[in-house]
Structure 1
Amino acid sequence: MRSADTEFVGGPLDGRVLPILLSPFNNVPKVYRVPVPAHLDRPAATLVYHRAKQYDARGRWRWRYEYEAADGEAADR
């Protein structure tokens, strides 16, 4: 299967670029969920990222993921 290097913005994965598997139509999924296991006193959680377009100086775009904060927190967009 093909993959695309996709940037993550906001949240714990901010600034990372990870290879994401592409759909049959060569798109990354609309929502990307990252399960985080429980550790010491922290309960298990799921990080949720939504797909967004990122434009370059020439007007071309690529997909990136933006963090969706849980519990009504304001997400950086």
Structure 2
Amino acid sequence: RPFILGRSTYPSAGMVASHWFGDNNSTFPDIHDSVTSMVTFNSFFGIPHVGSDIGGFHGSMSGSDLMARWIQTGALHPFARIHSSK
């Protein structure tokens, strides 16, 4: 079934659309931010199908541990895609 994916949504848009958090960095703090954003959109805005770029889009991977943590966190995202500039 097709779905609408956007970076700009509004409260209760989850009935008809999904939300992508946009380009993020390849850092540990951005992993934390992706989880915080996911919980916020699920509980506060009522948008259950959300996700971010797994692995980050900007920056370089400083080690295999960082990508492993991104993959582990991404397994919990309702909308997960591995996307990186590198």
Shorter-chain TM-score above 0.5 = no
Q: Which has the higher helix share?
A: 2
Shorter-chain TM band? under 0.3
When normalised by structure 1's length, the TM-score is: 0.25
